């Protein structure tokens, strides 16, 4: 049984703050300062260039990749970390297209996070004519998986509504018609149980700065099914994924049969030190326990808001098994209301046009936090505090 009191004590959250935004940026683990300090003073400062060998920097893309892989059901040697999620989207989709060169359609949905769609659009511009991106409503994706489709690119958990795609059903149908699946786990990894092997996904990608708590801009990851490791084409081909990187050949030859071929360029070892500290928190966490706890806290939050906060409407799936680990509410003046909440030390976030999102992250959130957050929201609505002029000003980051 996972001890969530223990994990809560492993985070450094400001006194009095109720942090319901781990779905956007996880809080800092208490071990992070020591981890970065050790990197600065016991590795970079003392070892300099030797650190690639003496401190194992060269293989941290893989060793940390395996630790992230444990959270998504990936076997060792199938996941690497580095770069950004946008780059990993490009890597995965371009590699997927190469596996079915006679097809021209990338299928996603109009609820997907826009960056994924932007990356697909940019990739299409680099290809020959007739490639197209199709984005039906999320509920209609499965009906649009036909033998025209090359790559199905979907994010399991909708970033606004929290709705989950039925990934097993999507993957099964995609494979039945010969399509490749790229599964974006940005709102899944560290939030809900994931099993990339059991679902037989081709590629999975995700970030580590949300539920994994690796810090702002923490490195992204990419998983490749073992059956594809010797054939997948890394179209973003850098020296770090070369068969013989220190031969410095002018021709690219991908590392044969290994996930190493999906490495690109020199990674941020400083960022890796923070990610390693964050992954330490997960050592004794059972993902099934995590999901059950998330559901219990989410259901409490939804029930209390609906009972005590008039004008605020729940905007996610009612069935908790069809949700990720954040809950959305719509409110006509959602941006201003969220700013008032933040001013009252309840940190959620806003997504256009009128969605207030609240991350329910059991590693550091408990029942007392939930009740205090609802108390403050109810008070803001009752007093109409959100109408204050200071809460109407839009910041660059919402």
Spatial CA neighbour of 7 closest among 380, 283, 288: 283
Is residue 142 predicted with pLDDT exceeding 90? yes
Q: How many CB atoms lie within 10 A of CB 89?
A: 28
Query: Are the CB atoms for 191 and 211 separated by under 8 Å?
Result: yes
Distance CA 257, CA 126 (A): 27
352 three-class SS: coil
Annotated catalytic residue: which of 67, 103, 163, 210? Answer: 210
Q: Is-contact 112 121, C-beta < 8 A? A: no
pLDDT at 282: 98
Q: Are 265 and 238 in contact (CB under 8 A)?
A: yes
Confidence of residue 276 (pLDDT cuts 50, 70, 90): very high
Q: Using CA atoms, how far apart are residues 266 and 238, in angstroms rounded to an integer? A: 9
Tell me, what's the pLDDT at 119? 97
Q: What is the pLDDT of residue 48?
A: 98
| φ/ψ of residue 133, rounded to 5 | -110, 125
Catalytic residue among 66, 70, 104, 113: 113
Any idea which residue has 């970030």 for tokens? Answer: 207
pTM value surpassing 0.85: yes
Instruction: Indicate which residue of 103, 163, 173, 357 is catalytic.
Output: 357
* Catalytic status, residue 209: yes
Catalytic residue among 116, 184, 202, 260: 184
Q: How far, in Å, CA of 290 to CA of 325, rounded? A: 10
Residue 235 is among the residues annotated as catalytic for this protein? no
Q: What is the DSSP string of 258-294?
A: SGGGG--S---HHHHHHHHHHHHTTTT--HHHHHHHH
Mean pLDDT, range 122-135, rounded to an integer:
93
Instruction: Please indicate whether residue 166 is annotated as part of the active site.
Output: no
pLDDT of residue 66: 98
Annotation says 184 is catalytic: yes
Q: According to the model, what pLDDT value does residue 128 have?
A: 78
Catalytic annotation, pick one of 90, 131, 203, 209: 209
CA dihedral angle for residue 327, residue 333, residue 338, residue 344, rounded to 10 degrees: -130
pLDDT digits (tens, 9 = 90+) for 24-68: 999 999 999 999 999 999 999 999 999 999 999 999 999 999 999
19 is catalytic: no
DSSP strand E in the chain: where? 18-19, 79-81, 105-107, 132-134, 149-155, 180-184, 203-206, 221-224, 313-314, 326-330, 346-347, 349-351, 355-359
Give residue-wise pLDDT tens across range 94-120: 999 999 999 999 999 999 999 999 999
Examine the pLDDT at 232 and tell me if it is beyond 90: yes
Q: Return the pLDDT at 129.
A: 80
- pLDDT of 319-375, one tens digit each? 999 999 999 999 999 999 999 999 999 999 999 999 999 999 999 999 999 999 999
| Nearest-angstrom CA–CA distance, 184 and 116 | 9
In DSSP notation, 154-181 reads EESB-TTT-BBP-HHHHHHHHHHTT-EE
């Amino acid at each position: 049984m996972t001890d969530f009191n223990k994990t809560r004590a492993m985070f450094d959250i400001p006194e009095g703050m109720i942090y319901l935004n781990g779905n956007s940026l996880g809080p800092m683990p208490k071990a992070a300062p020591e981890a970065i300090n050790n990197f600065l003073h016991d590795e970079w400062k003392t070892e300099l260039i030797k650190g690639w060998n003496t401190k194992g920097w060269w293989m941290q893309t893989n060793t940390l990749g395996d630790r992230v892989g444990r959270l998504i059901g990936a076997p060792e040697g199938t996941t690497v970390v580095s770069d950004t999620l946008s780059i990993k989207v490009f890597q995965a989709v371009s590699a997927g297209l190469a596996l079915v060169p006679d097809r021209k359609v990338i299928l996603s949905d109009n609820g997907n996070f826009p960056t994924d769609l932007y990356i697909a659009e940019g990739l299409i511009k680099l290809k020959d004519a007739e490639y197209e991106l199709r984005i039906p409503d999320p509920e209609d994706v499965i009906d649009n998986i036909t033998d025209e489709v090359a790559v199905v690119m979907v994010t399991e958990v909708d970033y606004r509504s929290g709705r989950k795609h039925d990934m097993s059903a999507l993957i099964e149908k995609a494979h039945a018609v010969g399509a490749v699946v790229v599964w974006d786990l940005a709102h899944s990894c560290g939030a809900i149980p994931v099993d990339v092997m059991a679902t037989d996904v081709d590629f999975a990608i995700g970030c580590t700065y949300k539920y994994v708590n690796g810090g702002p801009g923490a490195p992204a990851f990419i998983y490749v099914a073992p059956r594809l490791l010797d054939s997948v084409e890394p179209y973003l081909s850098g020296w770090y994924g070369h068969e013989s990187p220190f031969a410095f050949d002018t021709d690219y030859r991908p590392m044969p049969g290994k996930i190493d071929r999906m490495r690109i360029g020199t990674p941020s070892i400083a960022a890796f030190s923070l990610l390693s500290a964050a992954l330490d928190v997960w050592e004794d966490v059972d993902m099934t326990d995590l999901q059950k706890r998330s559901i219990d806290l989410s259901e409490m939050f939804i029930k209390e808001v609906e009972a005590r906060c008039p004008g605020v409407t729940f905007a996610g799936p009612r069935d908790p098994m069809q949700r990720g680990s954040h809950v959305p509410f719509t409110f006509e003046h959602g941006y201003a209301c969220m700013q008032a909440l933040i001013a009252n030390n309840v940190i959620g976030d806003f997504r256009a046009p009128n969605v207030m999102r609240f991350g329910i992250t059991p590693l550091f959130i408990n029942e007392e936090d939930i009740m205090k957050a609802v108390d403050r929201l109810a008070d803001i609505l009752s007093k109409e505090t959100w109408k204050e002029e200071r809460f109407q000003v839009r910041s660059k980051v919402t």
